[in-house]
Amino acid sequence: MEASELASKYRKQGFKTLKLKVGKNLNGDIEVLQSIRAAHPDCLFILDANEGYTANEAIKVLEKLHEMDVIPVLFEQPVHRDDWEGLGHVSQIAKDKYGVSVAADESCRSLVDAKKIVQESLADVINIKLAKVGVLGALEIIDLVRSSGLNLMIGGMVETRLAMGFAGHLAAGLGCFKFIDLDTPLLLAEDPVFGGYEASGPDYSFSNARGHGGFLHWENIAWTHSPIPMSQPFDMGTPRQRLVAELVQSSGLSLTTVNPISS
Ligand SMILES: [Mg+2]
């Protein structure tokens, strides 16, 4: 599907801000943005380069966007996670020259990283993911960031609504996140979770009386109590297989064959 068609699909669902994965090819990225912009002139953008640009390329992108009169609401992880100098440089230019906030995602994998980002003013926003730093790690980073004046974003990996539900509850409960990016369940072909939060486009409702309220199709889950080494690499291709991986990670059990649950 063309980028502008995809944009139309999500705009119809009520999303006003779209996140674009960029960072592979500077000119190609600008073209995609132009095509979406032409079809949806009032659409807001978050750019996520996933470490893909050099600092110079990231600044070039901001320059081109400026020429197009586009001010992204956020520019996520413009450079490689270990390029601290580049991150700080892009952040400074983005903020001072173009009025754009930069978020650290892959660069912030621990409280130590968060402290460095805060102390050296390397980004304006820190993207927290429970799958990246855990719940306690997230709470420590949240405390630090809140007291520092930086802004917080909450995101996720490609997760089912089970994991997203935890992140959503955390975000709704604390209310301190300026950017909420919890939409990856939309990318999955099927939703293996019963109950849980209700989503209507960008609006999530957490009204369940008991906990997060979501549960699984247990009959489809393959699991074991004894540690059996995997003989083959685990294929994360289907939602059910990802779900099993999530479940196993959170339970401390070991993964066995995925054949019984292949869909
Ligand atoms: Mg990201």
* pLDDT tens digits, one per residue of 24-49: 999 999 999 999 999 999 999 999 99
pLDDT greater than 70 at residue 62: yes
Taking the centre of ligand 1 as the mean of its atom positions, its distance from the CA of residue 221, in whole angstroms, is: 29
**Are residues 230 and 186 both part of a single domain?**
no
Distance from Cα 48 to the centre of ligand 1, integer Å: 6
pLDDT confidence band for 212 (50 / 70 / 90): confident
Residue after which a domain boundary falls, among 147, 163, 194: 194
108, 238: one domain: no
Residues 103 and 162 in one domain: yes
Asked if the structure places residue 207 within a domain, the reply is no
- Same domain for 182 and 221? no
Residues 77 and 24 both lie in one domain = yes
Do 134 and 15 belong together in one domain?
yes
- Whether 104 maps to a domain, the answer reads yes
Report the domain count for the chain.
2
- In this predicted structure, what is the pLDDT of residue 3? 87
Q: What are the residue numbers of the active site?
A: 21, 48, 76, 105, 129
Q: How far is the CA of 109 from the centre of ligand 1 (A)?
A: 12
Min mean pLDDT across 46-60, 142-156, 185-199 is at 185-199
Residue 169 and residue 42 share a domain: yes
Q: Give me the domain span that covers residue 110.
A: 3-194
* Distance from the alpha carbon of residue 125 to the mean position of ligand 1, in angstroms: 12
136 and 17 housed in the same domain: yes
Is residue 80 predicted with pLDDT exceeding 90? Answer: yes
CATH number reported for the structural domain that contains residue 105 in this entry = 3.20.20.120
**Could you tell me the distance, in angstroms and rounded to a whole number, from the CA of residue 207 to the centre of ligand 1?**
28
With respect to residue 208, please indicate whether it lies within any of the assigned structural domains: no
**Residue 108: inside a domain, yes or no?**
yes
Kindly report the pTM of this predicted structure. 0.82
Q: Look over the chain and give the mean of its residue pLDDT values, rounded to a whole number.
A: 87
* Whether residue 152 is found in the same domain as residue 229: no
Q: Is residue 44 part of a domain?
A: yes
Find the 53 Cα to ligand 1 centroid distance in Å.
13
- Of 106-120, 138-152, 176-190, 223-237, the range with the lowest mean pLDDT is 223-237
Q: What pLDDT does residue 99 have?
A: 97
Q: What is the pLDDT of residue 242?
A: 64
Residue 180 CA, ligand 1 centroid: distance in Å: 12
Of 194, 226, 246, at which residue does a domain stop? 194
Query: What's the pLDDT score for residue 228?
Result: 46
Answer whether 46's CB lies under 8 Å from 76's CB.
Answer: yes
- Position 199 in a domain: no
- Between 122-131, 142-151, 188-197, 221-230, the lowest mean confidence (pLDDT) is in 221-230
pLDDT at 262 (0 to 100): 34
Confidence check: pLDDT of 257 > 50: no
Q: Indicate the residue among 161, 194, 227 that finishes a domain.
A: 194
Which has more pLDDT, 212 or 97? 97
Residues 160 and 256 in one domain: no
Residue 194 confidence class, pLDDT cut points 50, 70, 90 = confident
